[in-house]
Amino acid sequence: MIINDNPNHPTYDLDNLPMCTESHYWSTIKKLFEATTKKAVDNIVKATGISCLPLCAASPAFFHPTFFPPDPFHLIYENCMVFIVDLWVKSEPADGFYISEEQLRKFGLLVSQAMFTLPPSFCGPIHDPFLKHHSQYNIYKWMALLHWYIIPISIELGFNSIVLQKFSHFVQAMEFSVTLLPRSESDLEALQKIIVNFLKGYEKICVGGNPEHISRFRLCIFQLIHIPQNILWNGSIRVGSQATVERSIGEMSCRICSKKAVFANLANQIHEREILKILLLYYPSLDCNKDKSNSALDPTHIKPVKMVKILKKELCANGSLDQHLQAISSFLGHCIHLLKCQSQII
């Protein structure tokens, strides 16, 4: 509950928030199209948070607001975590969440040294967050800080106990949210209570009833309140991650060679990659990325595709040329068959 001395300003209850409906969404879209001035559009956007009609609304599955699951990697790690650490770094002695610069420097040093005893399994070295959290940090390093390093190292350094207590609620809620396990309604109710407890404590120590500090309660922090409802609608919020899509986009963009026909080149690249996947399903032994040490020890491992030097004297001797041609013809026949199957699937 926001603490505000202005009686004309409405308050809200975190345990009983109003739900946006489908009819409200489309009525807002209609108002946006009917607005005649930019100022009128800005006022609608500010009041509702709806800025335009998205392309995904053309999908038959579109239903507001269940169609918009949160992206955990951006919301939790690249938004909330970055903002919280920024608040700690910029805190002053008068703030309720104050952490001294000396403590933060020691914390960053201990994080970088923790690689020797607790190395992360999903990313490279974790750099000093006090010095490099803006320049050399990605979502995987923020994950390591959130789930492994901050709580134990901060307790060791004697951080503000109230700050650590509220941050532990954030860690508990986020670990629960990203874990791929079935959740009952009672589980989600317990998650809701943890998040509400965190948000109330966060507002108390970061805003403290001072309207000038309301910018410390960013939308990304408030967005956490909707996670239990989204899990009820869509399952674990990990299924809404954009990390897989962004990784695929990065891989494919590096392979585009044509500046004239970019989209045609991209479509061919994607098509060829899918054909290769199907081919490897039929013939796993063609996978050159397998562990070579294991394949070398396996006497049954056969390399069906290899460079064969054909000499002139062998062209007519022992029918070796016919054998090579038959092998090539057989291999090409399998490839053509796979291409036909793929075209039928598409």
pLDDT digits (tens, 9 = 90+) for 260-275: 888 888 888 888 888 8
In a domain, 90, yes or no: yes
pLDDT band at 8 (very low <50, low <70, confident <90, very high): low
State the pLDDT at residue 7: 59
Residues 136 and 44 in one domain: no
pLDDT band at 190 (very low <50, low <70, confident <90, very high): very high
Q: Is the pLDDT of residue 237 over 70?
A: yes
Dist. CA 198–CA 182, nearest whole Å: 23
pLDDT band at 304 (very low <50, low <70, confident <90, very high): very low
Helix (H, G, I), strand (E, B) or coil at 98: coil
Q: Is the pLDDT of residue 75 over 70?
A: yes
Share of the chain above pLDDT 90, in %: 28
Dist. CA 318–CA 17, nearest whole Å: 84
Question: And the tokens for 13?
Answer: 């209850």
Residues 90 and 43 in one domain: no
Residues 100 and 190 in one domain: yes
Nearest partner of 159 among 130, 193, 127, 132, judged by Cα? 130
Mean pLDDT, range 253-257, rounded to an integer: 79
Residues 222 and 135 in one domain: yes
In a domain, 142, yes or no: yes
Residues 122 and 223 in one domain: yes
Residues 52 and 78 in one domain: no
Share of the chain above pLDDT 70, in %: 81
pLDDT band at 295 (very low <50, low <70, confident <90, very high): very low
Residues 49 and 161 in one domain: no
Q: Is the pLDDT of residue 299 over 50?
A: no
Q: How many CB atoms lie within 10 A of CB 75?
A: 21
Tabulate helix, strand, coil % of the chain (nearest 5): 65, 0, 35
Q: Is the pLDDT of residue 290 over 90?
A: no
Q: Is the pLDDT of residue 5 over 70?
A: no
In a domain, 151, yes or no: yes
Range of the domain at 37: 22-58
In a domain, 265, yes or no: no
58, 86, 111: which is the final residue of a domain? Answer: 58
Dist. CA 237–CA 74, nearest whole Å: 12
215, 243, 271: which is the final residue of a domain? Answer: 243
State the pLDDT at residue 71: 86
State the pLDDT at residue 172: 95
> What average pLDDT does the chain have?
81
pLDDT band at 293 (very low <50, low <70, confident <90, very high): very low
Mean pLDDT, range 158-166, rounded to an integer: 90
Tally of structural domains, the chain: 3
In a domain, 343, yes or no: yes
Q: Is the pLDDT of residue 148 over 50?
A: yes
Q: Is the pLDDT of residue 309 over 70?
A: no
End-to-end Cα spacing for the chain: 53
Mean pLDDT, range 120-129, rounded to an integer: 77
Match 């010095």 to its residue by tokens.
131
Residues 169 and 146 in one domain: yes
pLDDT band at 125 (very low <50, low <70, confident <90, very high): confident
In a domain, 77, yes or no: yes
Helix (H, G, I), strand (E, B) or coil at 146: helix
Concatenating the DSSP letter of every residue in 158-188 gives T--HHHHHHHHHHHHHHHHHHS-S---HHHH
pLDDT digits (tens, 9 = 90+) for 131-143: 887 777 888 888 8
Residues 96 and 46 in one domain: no
Write out 40-88 in H/E/C secondary structure. HHHHHHHHHCCCCCCHHHHCCCCCCCCCCCCCHHHHHHHHHHHHHHHHH
Dist. CA 113–CA 188, nearest whole Å: 37
227, 243, 259: which is the final residue of a domain? Answer: 243
Residues 86 and 219 in one domain: yes
- With contact defined as beta carbons under 8 Å apart, do 220 and 166 qualify? no
* Higher-scoring residue by pLDDT: 221, 15: 221
State the pLDDT at residue 303: 46
State the pLDDT at residue 228: 92
State the pLDDT at residue 314: 55
In a domain, 122, yes or no: yes
State the pLDDT at residue 289: 59
Residues 93 and 165 in one domain: yes
- With contact defined as beta carbons under 8 Å apart, do 13 and 3 qualify? no
State the pLDDT at residue 29: 93
* Higher-scoring residue by pLDDT: 313, 25: 25
Helix (H, G, I), strand (E, B) or coil at 140: helix
The Cα-based distances of 298 to 56, 120, 280, 292, 294 in angstroms read 50, 33, 19, 10, 6
Residues 171 and 218 in one domain: yes
Dist. CA 222–CA 203, nearest whole Å: 10
In a domain, 89, yes or no: yes
State the pLDDT at residue 180: 86
Dist. CA 172–CA 165, nearest whole Å: 11
Peptide bond preceding 7: is omega within 30 degrees of 0, i.e. cis? no
Dist. CA 75–CA 81, nearest whole Å: 9
* Higher-scoring residue by pLDDT: 310, 254: 254
Sign, Cα dihedral of 58, 59, 64, 69: negative
State the pLDDT at residue 175: 93
